[in-house]
Structure 1
Amino acid sequence: MTVLMRWAAPVVLLFGLAGGVQAEMTVSQSNDPDGSIDVHMTALLGQERAALSTLTSSDVAAIATAPMKPGKSKGKAVMSYDGTWLAALPRPESSDELDCLAQALYFEARGESIKGQAAVAEVILNRVDSPSFPKTVCAVVNQGGNGGCQFSYTCDGRAEVVAEPEAWKRSAKIAGAMLDGAPRILTEGATYFHTPQVSPSWSKRFELTATIGAHLFYRAPIVTALN
């Protein structure tokens, strides 16, 4: 009985769409329930074919397509990284981590697009998540090594003076969004970047993951026992 009921519901809908085609079934009292189901199922399928032959393609598509759930949309959300996205961002609350990330974006990449600055922010936050780097934004940004600095503005001998207030506001907003969990979808896990004007030795060994604006982004090769 359960099988018949499952088939009957969509068939009733099809018959209604087909202009009132009706199916009449009587449940058999046979001692062979399987045989009874076979007989009635054959009749039911024949009537279903007749009903389907009268439907248009749009009718069939409407029946076959499941309704969307409220509040859901098809596909993945897409980050626009444009002026509209930036304007909708709230003003970030000041903190040491925000200030360090905003400074890195401002002094290293303020000439880049919103997308370009977000990509640089990804590199810094990817480093924070990596066991190969310090565990805070400020420590990553101010890290030294190999006789220099990871971010040149931190050891170029010049004072960090914000001379472009609007550019600073933009960098701070981007920094706030990235710290608040905006998806890192631009650089595929990159932890290094450089401009085309230089060619560091490590760039020949690392995997190039993205080119955004004036920066090339790289991911360090995975080290295993086999290599």
Structure 2
Amino acid sequence: MRISWNAVFSTAAAFVFCLVTSAAAQHLTMPGAVELRSFTQLASLGSDTGRSLPGAARPLSDQGRKRVATRSPSPTAQDEDAPTALDQNTFAGMPKAVGNEQWRCLTEAIYFEARGEPIKGQVAVGEVILNRVDASNYPDTVCRVVNQGTGRMHACQFSYTCDGQDEVVNDQASWDMAGKIARHLLDGAPRALTGDATHYHADYVSPNWARVYPRTATLGRHIFYKQIPGA
């Protein structure tokens, strides 16, 4: 029997061609097809190669972490978005507050001056009164601060004491909340909302002193100021 070497070479070439095309076919995708990978796979790819994917968050260096840790607070940190945790829930679990005459005077002032304000706004009014108690140029008790100038035309310091209306409590829930806030402050809670403010006014009026004293905070409808010594 005679062997045809041309036939052998043709058969071998055809076998090799089949192997090559089969291997190549495993790495081909259809035109326009997209290979999908999970986010975890992509993140792993970036990590393995030492590169970050476009838009991916990069871990902070030690220096970067230090910059974040020492970042200065926003200049409006004492405004309504202040981080101080004071809201309805802060006082909801407290028992009904009681106290002496000074507690009642502070409760009354918070109730009549700010019961329609958010909780922080009510606390802020209480802060102002206690800041005045601590200041050398104001009376040294809550009741004297609240009633300073009462009965004299344009001399009262808190408008509800000279508006000609009787101080009648007709909203018991708001009175109870004011009492809790007063108790909270008189018991030594930090005064962290108003920046040591001694004055405030509603945002729809503009007293003369508001052009002299620096503004320290805005909470609800009230704007707060700190009196400058000698001004």
**Which TM class, normalised by the smaller chain length?**
0.5 to 0.7
How many residues are paired up?
Answer: 148
Q: Is the 8 A contact 1:102 1:172 kept in 2?
A: yes
Say which one has the larger Rg. 2
1:82 aligns with 2:87: yes
**Separation (CA, whole Å) in 2 of partners of 1:184 and 1:146:** 31
**Separation (CA, whole Å) in 2 of partners of 1:142 and 1:119:** 18
1:143 aligns with 2:148: yes
Q: Secondary structure at the match of 1:148?
A: coil
Q: What is the Cα deviation at residue 146 of structure 1?
A: 6.7
Instruction: Look up the match of 2:189.
Output: 182
Letter in 2 for 1:102: T
**Separation (CA, whole Å) in 2 of partners of 1:106 and 1:195:** 15
Letter in 2 for 1:204: R
1:1-227 counterparts in 2 under 5 A? 79-144=84-149, 147-223=154-230
Instruction: Look up the match of 1:24.
Output: none
Q: What is the Cα deviation at residue 101 of structure 1?
A: 0.4
Cα RMSD, aligned residues only: 1.8
CA shift digits 1:72-116 (9 cap, x unpaired):
xxxxxx641112211133432221011100110110100001110
Q: Is the 8 A contact 1:89 1:177 kept in 2?
A: no
Letter in 2 for 1:153: Y
**Separation (CA, whole Å) in 2 of partners of 1:90 and 1:80:** 19
Q: Secondary structure at the match of 1:117?
A: helix
**Separation (CA, whole Å) in 2 of partners of 1:152 and 1:222:** 23
Q: Is the 8 A contact 2:97 2:176 kept in 1?
A: no
**Separation (CA, whole Å) in 2 of partners of 1:105 and 1:193:** 13
**Separation (CA, whole Å) in 2 of partners of 1:86 and 1:139:** 27
Instruction: Look up the match of 2:66.
Output: none
**Separation (CA, whole Å) in 2 of partners of 1:88 and 1:186:** 22
**Separation (CA, whole Å) in 2 of partners of 1:106 and 1:192:** 17
**Separation (CA, whole Å) in 2 of partners of 1:88 and 1:97:** 23
Instruction: Indicate the structure whose relative CO is greater, using CA pairs within 8 Å and at least 6 residues apart.
Output: 2
Identity between Structure 1 and Structure 2 (%) = 50
Instruction: Look up the match of 1:26.
Output: none
Letter in 1 for 2:94: L
**TM superposition score normalised by structure 1:** 0.62
**Separation (CA, whole Å) in 2 of partners of 1:139 and 1:203:** 23
**TM superposition score normalised by structure 2:** 0.61
Instruction: Look up the match of 2:75.
Output: none
Q: Secondary structure at the match of 1:149?
A: coil
